[in-house]
Amino acid sequence: MKKNIHVVGAVIEKNGKILCAQRGESKSLPLKWEFPGGKIESGETPQEALYREIKEEMHCEIEIGEWVETTIHEYDFGIVHLTTYYCNLMGGSPLLTEHVAIQWLPRSELGLLDWAPADIPAVEKIIKSVL
């Protein structure tokens, strides 16, 4: 039986562009792109987890807005339940601590990156919201 892993991702918008983060080579899903975030700890709401993860991982503060998408994707290491939210950057600039690269892209260019499979439904929904 595979482990269920509940995670959250931040679709951070700034000046009409969205923050995309690339996973490290030594991580699972090496060099795949994702929305930054992380695991929901016991007793946390998804929003609390997302706020904490962005503060820890990227050393900045966000305001969490509306829900984007919830995706369940089965990987070899477990079943990921990913919930994404639109967010605004409220303080600081994202720093690379967990990721090897970040890019700010307009919605129309999000499809150019090699996304982690669990993030793809949110990416597609965000791109469609432009059309």
Instruction: Give the CATH number for residue 113.
Output: 3.90.79.10
In the chain, how many domains are there?
Answer: 1
**pLDDT in tens for each of the 131 residues of the chain?**
899 999 999 999 999 999 999 999 999 999 999 999 999 999 999 999 999 999 999 999 999 999 999 999 999 999 999 999 999 999 999 999 999 999 999 999 999 999 999 999 999 999 998 65
- What pLDDT score does 131 carry? 56
Q: Give residue 41's domain range.
A: 4-128
pLDDT score of 56: 95
In this prediction, residue 129 carries a pLDDT of 87
Report the distance separating Cα 6 and Cα 51, nearest Å.
Answer: 15
